[in-house]
Amino acid sequence: MSERRLYLDDGPGEARGVVTLDGRPERLMIRRVGDSPRQLAGARVVARVRRIEPGIGAAFLDLGEEPDAVLAAGGAAIKLVEGAALEVEIVSEARRGKGAVARFIGLAEGPPRLIADAPSLTARLTAFAPGAPIVAGDAARQAADIAEAAAVAVEHPLPGGGLIAIEPTRALTAVDVDLQAGGGDARRGARRVNLAAIEHAARLLRLKGLGGLIAIDLIGAGHDGAALTAAAKAAFEPDQPGVAIGPISRFGLLQLVVPRRERPAAEILCDERGEMSPTTLALRFMRILEREARADGGARLQGRCSPPVAAAASPYIEALRARIGARFEVISDATMARERFEVSA
């Protein structure tokens, strides 16, 4: 039977919630100081209809800040007019180049505004494993660091051999399955790896916050469609409702659609080049400073980092001071590499 464990790392300027499935990271939820509460999944907002596009059956909503949200203009929302005020719930967070997706609740009055906060990280974690304790402290920080590394990695080894690579594109997310050399019955090995790949791809897609059209390139030919489809249904059950699984093509491609609900982790953690962003590195730097300060309770610390990281750290300085006091300084050093930090007493 699968076991889920919950972790909450409350760091300076950032909180990270992690769910593990049988010891491996399954979900990573990140909240940062400065995040807009109107854009978070589960938030309820009064919005105004900015524009209706009948050709695509959608309305664009002014939330009172950028970016606009998108609402499917069907059902009860079909009679909306431009300028109308309405209450909506954010069901899918904004991602790069795309606004949030909203669900129509009813008509409203007044200017765009937040009327109900999104669920807290504690509430979200508890929903994934009711009754399970939420682990904090050093164990949570380690779990969050491991989850971050897995969330941005492309290649992931499979237990017992095999490898999957997960790469999102504008149109879909491609999952490539590889069988590592090792002898034995190749057909049996391909079946075993394909089944493991489906199971772990589902977990990793949840961890990465990826949805939409998913294409899994399976190993070999002559697949047992019934067994693989059953494995996909079981693996993606936690993503219901809204998962649709297609038949395996003659090219060995398993295609499915998974609802988008989270902002992709890589978009939060990385810049447009796929490198860790200055903000992510600054928050990592804040955690290192906090750790060193707690290890030496009376020391005054100097932390050196690159200029982009020092600039990105500015919004989080007060959060760190509230934890360890004003006994540190951040020094911008143009000779430092982006991902290098130095802390001294």
pLDDT tens by residue, 167-211: 999 899 999 999 876 545 556 778 899 999 999 999 999 999 999
Number of domains composing the chain: 4
Confidence band (pLDDT; 50, 70, 90) for 235? very high
pLDDT for residue 35: 92
pLDDT for residue 54: 82
Confidence band (pLDDT; 50, 70, 90) for 297? confident
Q: What is the CATH number of the domain that holds 136?
A: 3.30.420.300
Say if residue 227 is in the same domain as residue 202: yes
Q: Which residues pair with 146 in a beta bridge?
A: none
Say if residue 191 is in the same domain as residue 258: yes
Report yes or no on 270 lying in a domain.
no
Say if residue 215 is in the same domain as residue 84: no
Task: Give the residue-averaged pLDDT of 218-244.
Answer: 93
pLDDT for residue 184: 52
Say if residue 193 is in the same domain as residue 222: yes
pLDDT tens by residue, 242-287: 999 999 998 999 999 999 988 999 999 999 899 999 999 999 999 9
Give the domain range for residue 103.
41-116
Q: What are phi and psi of 203, to 5 degrees?
A: -65, -45
Say if residue 20 is in the same domain as residue 80: no
Q: What is the mean pLDDT of the chain?
A: 92
Say if residue 181 is in the same domain as residue 64: no
User: At residue 81, does pLDDT exceed 90?
Assistant: no
Q: What is the CATH number of the domain that holds 241?
A: 3.40.630
User: At residue 342, does pLDDT exceed 80?
Assistant: yes
Report yes or no on 337 lying in a domain.
yes
Burial readout 327-343 (b: 16 or more C-beta within 10 A, e: otherwise) = ebebeebeebeeeebeb
| 268: exposed, middle or buried (Cβ count in 10 Å: 0-12, 13-18, 19+) | buried
What is the Cα gyration radius of the chain?
23
Reading the block at residue 307, the tokens are 């200029």
pLDDT for residue 56: 82
Task: Give the residue-averaged pLDDT of 120-139.
Answer: 96
Nearest to 152 by CA among 52, 259, 69, 268: 268
Say if residue 160 is in the same domain as residue 184: yes
- The pTM for the full model equals 0.91
The residue written with tokens 């038949």 in the block is 247
Mapped onto helix, strand or coil, the DSSP state of residue 91 is: strand
